[in-house]
Amino acid sequence: MPASITRVTRFALITRVLFVLLAGITAGSGQARECRQALVLALDVSGSVNPHEFSQQVQGLASALDAPQVRAMILNGGNAPVALAVFEWSSRNHQHIIQPWIYLDSTVALDTVILRIRSHRKVRAGLKTAMGSALNVAAGMLKMQPTCWRRTIDVSGDGKNNIGATPAQVYAVGGFDEITVNALVVGDPAAASDEGIGVSPAELRSYFEAEVIRGPGAFALVSNGYADFARAMQIKLMREISIPIFGQNGSDTLTVLRVADHRNITGGKFDQNLWSVRGISIKE
């Protein structure tokens, strides 16, 4: 094995172990319980994100979680709640927990998370974009939720990996079995024209689809700048938290199965761009 790959492997494994230990200390001594979804949200706070954009990002996430449709989907889970954790990331040495693991099993729990996110102030310790490191940390955090039916990483970013292990190198190390990685791609709308200085939404989405997303049903969704973050995040959360049943008799619309029957889902046809959840249609 080449020395460079060996170093990446060693660094990835050490980082994953250390961050899991830190997350466990931060979260307290609660035991993992059965849940229908373990969701890690990883927010990009690299040098390309200015203070105003950072505020739009965290406030947008809080607003998305507080949207009536999202609240209803989170809280209508019976005895199998959604488990949520949130952290910010930038360079290889910066991954800061905003919200340690919490089970969203009541309005109090959900409101507590929303308030904590709204109150968060950036603690960025680096300017680079180490997406591979962020994915590695997120996978380590998901190891703390082994009994959840689905495990998902939701990574947001406005640029490509430019330091440290690439997403492909981190995936090669392993540890992403039965994990879905989705992406919220924050494109620069101005970059679609000649005057733009950033990466166009289309180009950045292509990068995330080719290099970042992985796993069953993985998808990338575009936010047209940080001003659009709340709208895009709401749609993304609704797609991730939904409990789909694949249509019967040729139907191509996803519907919601009772939580108790989730494990009995069988195959069929469906349309990735239209999800019907408790009567709510979700379109990108």
pLDDT at residue 53 in the model: 94
Q: Based on the fold, state whether residues 261 and 172 are members of the same structural domain.
A: no
Q: Based on the fold, state whether residues 205 and 280 are members of the same structural domain.
A: no
Backbone phi, then psi, for 228, in 5-degree steps?
-100, 5
> Average pLDDT for residues 192-207, to the nearest whole number?
71
Domain holding 174: CATH number? 3.40.50.410
Q: Based on the fold, state whether residues 236 and 266 are members of the same structural domain.
A: no
Q: Based on the fold, state whether residues 123 and 170 are members of the same structural domain.
A: yes
> Average pLDDT for residues 206-226, to the nearest whole number?
95
Q: Which helix (H) or strand (E) holds 184?
A: strand 179-187
Q: Please give the structure tokens belonging to residue 199.
A: 């990466």
Angle at 119 between CA 116 and CA 122, to 5 degrees: 110
pLDDT confidence bin for 81, thresholds 50/70/90: very high
Measure Cα distances from 187 to 48, 50, 201 in Å.
Answer: 12, 14, 4
> Average pLDDT for residues 237-245, to the nearest whole number?
80
In total, how many domains does the chain have? 2
Q: Based on the fold, state whether residues 173 and 192 are members of the same structural domain.
A: yes
Compute the mean pLDDT over every residue in the chain, rounded to the nearest whole number.
Answer: 79
Q: Based on the fold, state whether residues 212 and 248 are members of the same structural domain.
A: no
Spatial distance between the Cα atoms of 31 and 41, rounded to a whole number of angstroms? 21
Q: Based on the fold, state whether residues 132 and 192 are members of the same structural domain.
A: yes
pLDDT at residue 202 in the model: 87
Q: Based on the fold, state whether residues 264 and 281 are members of the same structural domain.
A: yes
The answer to whether residue 166 scores a pLDDT higher than 50 is: yes
pLDDT at residue 198 in the model: 64
Q: Do 60 and 229 contact (CB within 8 A), yes or no?
A: yes
Q: Do 179 and 16 contact (CB within 8 A), yes or no?
A: no
Measure Cα distances from 160 to 12, 60, 210, 230 in Å.
Answer: 19, 22, 12, 22
- Three-class secondary structure of residue 151 per DSSP: strand
State the residue range of the domain holding 46. 3-241
Give 244's strand partners: 256
pLDDT at residue 123 in the model: 77
The residue with greater pLDDT, 87 or 10, is 87
Spatial distance between the Cα atoms of 6 and 275, rounded to a whole number of angstroms? 42
Q: Based on the fold, state whether residues 21 and 58 are members of the same structural domain.
A: yes
Q: Do 185 and 223 contact (CB within 8 A), yes or no?
A: yes
Maximum alpha-carbon separation in the chain: 54
Q: Based on the fold, state whether residues 234 and 258 are members of the same structural domain.
A: no
Q: Please give the structure tokens belonging to residue 71.
A: 């609240």
Strands 255-256 and 274-277: unpaired
Examine the fold and report which residue of 241, 256, 275 is the final residue of a domain before the chain moves on: 241
Measure Cα distances from 278 to 79, 119, 146 in Å.
Answer: 18, 31, 27
Spatial distance between the Cα atoms of 284 and 275, rounded to a whole number of angstroms? 10
The answer to whether residue 201 scores a pLDDT higher than 80 is: yes
pLDDT confidence bin for 210, thresholds 50/70/90: very high
Q: Based on the fold, state whether residues 231 and 248 are members of the same structural domain.
A: no
Helices (H), 107-259: 107-119, 131-142, 167-173, 201-211, 229-241
pLDDT at residue 11 in the model: 47
Q: Based on the fold, state whether residues 94 and 215 are members of the same structural domain.
A: yes
> Would you say how long the chain is, in residues?
284
> Average pLDDT for residues 18-26, to the nearest whole number?
45
